[in-house]
Chain A
């Protein structure tokens, strides 16, 4: 079975400052890794994912995450946040070639002006 630990439950950050959300996973098999974002009163949306290939993956709105197999991590970063990035962020893992996801507890990011 797979599991995910998100190390920070809440991250306050000022607008235009960088942010990093930490995610560690546990699995005995190869994995796929995901970051989902949930805006208030909405469902989750995929932000980015790692399936194979380059360990650095990017989203269209400036987020990036790096798969580190030796440290079993998939941390999410953004060099400069906007007010609109205020949301809850979930790290998730699945076994290779499996559609079932295990989610972390989530990290609430609050961006202040």
Chain B
């Protein structure tokens, strides 16, 4: 298995631009998580899905952030408009029955907003 796939690995954009981060979970996993990691705030859970349905989005910072999971093999995290304080590493993780609660993380997307 290729593991969790995230794209792009690096993104540099200017303030005010729309940013879309992409994630492909491990096949067969029915939970998908989006995290943000910064030096100041550590690792934060933004939102998670079960069977493509958002279960808890209480970690989404504000309305500029949105996430979708149109099918079991694809999810997006969108920031519109982006701001410098959104600069962080964004991780996607997946898990499901049979892996005993272990979350498998992708390599992350390093976002820099200028």
Contacts and interface: CB of A to CB of B under 8 A. Distances in A.
B76 interface: no
A79 B58 CA distance: 40
B108 A101 contact: no
A100 B43 contact: no
Given A43-B107, A44-B91, A99-B95, A49 B101 contact: yes
A13 interface: no
Contacts of A45: 105
A104 B43 CA distance: 8
Interface string B84-114: 0000000101010000111101111000000
B48 interface: yes
Interface of B: 4, 31, 33, 42-43, 45, 48, 50, 56, 91, 93, 95, 100-103, 105-108
Interface of A: 32, 34, 42-46, 49, 51, 90, 94, 99-106
18 contacts: A32-B101, A42-B107, A42-B108, A43-B91, A43-B93, A43-B105, A43-B108, A44-B43, A44-B91, A44-B103, A46-B102, A49-B101, A49-B102, A99-B95, A100-B48, A103-B42, A103-B43, A105-B42
